[in-house]
Each structure stands twice: as C-alpha cells, then as structure tokens.
Amino acid sequence: MAGKDSKDSNSTKLVNHPATETHTQIQPRIRRANRASAPLARWDRATLQTSEDPLARALLALAEKGFMGALFLVTTPNTTQGQVSFKSSATLAPGSKTDLWTGLNWNPNLTPEVWTGIQQQGFTELSPPGTNTLQTSSRNVLRAAFGIEPSEWLYLARVGTPTSIRGVLAIVTEKSFVLELKGALPLLNTPLPATSALPK
C-alpha cells in the first residue's frame, strides 16, 4: 500500500505533463494535453476479447468487476541506469480523463515508497485522502496528476515481472478494489507471450 502521507521535497517533479511547466498541486481541470503528444490508443472490449495478451484478459476480468476507467502506461527508456519511467499509451473507458491522460509521464523513482509497493506487492492503492492530509504528499500529488476526484480510488499495478516490466496499469474505481485487483495479478504479472501484444 502507499502508506501514510509524507512530505516530499521532489513533489514538483513526480509527474510530468507536456502541457505545462507546473507538475504538482495544479487542479486536474486546468491540465491539458500537448497537441504534439501522440493520441492514446482507445481499447474496447471487442479488441480485448480477440487478444491473447494477458493484459487484455486481466482488463476484461477487471471490467466485469466494475471499474470507472483504466490507463496503461508503457515503460520508456530512462537515461539513469537501472531506473524506469512510464508514459501513457492506451486507455479503456477513460470518460472525461482522456485529455488529461494524454501525454502523461510518470517517473516512479521520485516516489520510492509508492514504487516499492508496486514492485513488492504487484500494485499499490491510493485511496481517497482523509480530512487531515498533506496535499504535497506523493500519494496526493499522484492522485491529482491522474485526475482522481476526492471520492475516487486509484490503483497502480505492475504489468510484467519485476525484472521485465512492460508498464503500469492505472485503475480508477468508486470503491475499494483490492480483492478484485489481487485476483487479476497473476495475469497482469505474466510475461508477454510470443504472440502479438495489444496495440499501444
């Protein structure tokens, strides 16, 4: 889990969006995608049902359980040896978050407590903040960057193995989704098969 709120002096760098030089406590409503950013691939159930990709099977299973939206962030090269970064690539049922999610980049090395949870447990939960919360904490900055409303839950799950990470799946729900996500982890954490992966 993400753990308790803690102040992070690097919070202004946690999530980068090409639309602005301000990366944190801005409200989601004023964040806009850079027109130069590649558009997100738009997955639907028909596409997922024809794919042998374990990610597609996991998404179908999770969709049956009921989530509000999903975003896949693909692993991107990082100039620092041994580190990874992620960039938004494809989405399922994004709703009003499409523009915000387009061109979104996340450097998990600046949120080590969140990233450690993902690596060790396969996912992390960023539940709605309490009334007494630090707005500049890593968890709150991440929630704001993904456009998560105060009543919504955000889950970040590893796709692939700890040593061969394909990306991170962001799931938005209206309630706790821990049991449902745990049930999908064997698929999410499965290495990519030799067959073609989902388009991204």
User: What are the pLDDT digits (tens) for 117-126?
Assistant: 999 999 999 9
Shortest CA distance to 178 belongs to which of 154, 143, 150, 144? 154
% helix / strand / coil in the chain, to the nearest 5?
30, 25, 45
pLDDT in tens, 56-105: 999 999 999 999 999 999 998 776 666 789 999 999 999 999 999 999 99
Mean residue pLDDT of the chain comes to 81
Instruction: Please tell me which residue, 50 or 38, carries the higher pLDDT value.
Output: 50
Structure tokens at 59: 């998404």
Identity (one letter) of the amino acid at 139?
R
Ranking 1-5, 44-48, 98-102, 165-169 by mean pLDDT, the lowest is 1-5
- Closest residue by Cα to residue 86 from 1, 188, 29, 159: 159
Dihedral (C-alpha) 108, 128, 125, 60: value to the nearest 10 degrees? Answer: -110
Determine the topology of domain 11-29+50-188 in CATH: Beta-Lactamase (3.30.450)
What are the angstrom distances between the C-alpha of 138 and each of 87, 153, 173?
18, 15, 19
Q: Please report the sign of the dihedral spanned by the C-alpha atoms of residue 72, residue 51, residue 177, residue 161.
A: negative
DSSP 13: G
Give CA separation, 196 vs 20, 56, 193, in Å. Answer: 35, 11, 8
What's the pLDDT at 19?
A: 43
What pLDDT was estimated at residue 130?
Answer: 75
Phi, psi for 123 (deg, rounded to 5): -165, 170
pLDDT digits 0-9 by tens, 7-22? 333 333 456 655 443 3
pLDDT digits (tens, 9 = 90+) for 39-58: 899 999 999 999 989 999 99
* Per-residue pLDDT, 199: 65
pLDDT tops 80 at residue 192:
no
- For residue 106, is pLDDT > 80? yes
